[in-house]
Structure 1
Amino acid sequence: MTNVTPFPHQGAGPGPKGGQVGFERLELQRIMDLYGRMVSAGHWRDYAMDMGQEAAIFSAFRRSAERPEYRIEKRPALRHRQGMWALVGESGQILKRGQELQGVLAPVERKLLRIVED
């Protein structure tokens, strides 16, 4: 019982060379704040998170048995190109892309304002 088997080392940092992409605490707090407001407005009912080597994805569902209405994707490999944040619609089209999470979430927050006003 003195043999120690280490986990395979994938390299340091996120991306294809190894590691896992995840949300930082403030990013996740902002996303969960929006999710909570959409739930209290009766629009969203479920969510899922997927954290892989290339992207971290937060998916929001109207009902749990369907495709997500929105996906919020963080892809650090695109940081210097189009921006690492993307808002993806239900049919897979990219609705908004940018460097800042706040700007990418703006279309969903505007939709929330319309839900509350009705």
Structure 2
Amino acid sequence: MDAANSGCDLFDIDELRLVYTREEFENLLMCGFIDDTYSVFPLSELQRCMVDSWEAWDAVKPFSLRPFGRRSVWVGYDPSHTGDTAGCIMVAPSATPSGKFRVLDRHQFNGMDFEAQADFIRKVDERFPP
């Protein structure tokens, strides 16, 4: 609505309301939140997976040179050219076949070009061995 009110004529709000359901329009175009019960992963289920890592994870030392020692860590990168921001996540795989994974760190790349993102990932690779 801000863009339309500022004179942008690249879209027709009334036409967009016809294309999307009310819920989709609110979520996709008006930054409205969807009802959590429709989520693939409802927040209540995700919260059951949460722990206080400062209390429960004595093997993780976030401010040390190697926060997870020499144990293997998976690094995932989600690039973005437009739209949402790119991101990087560091995950400790389970030590046992049925064990739990740990999200050790995550980072969003707001306003960083690809070269700066690559430099960040190189530094992550130094801190978290493959």
Which structure's residues are more often helix, by fraction? 2
Q: Which has the larger radius of gyration?
A: 2
Which structure's residues are more often strand, by fraction? 1
TM superposition score category, shorter chain reference = under 0.3
Normalising by the residue count of structure 1, what TM-score does the alignment of the two structures yield?
A: 0.25
Normalising by the residue count of structure 2, what TM-score does the alignment of the two structures yield?
A: 0.24
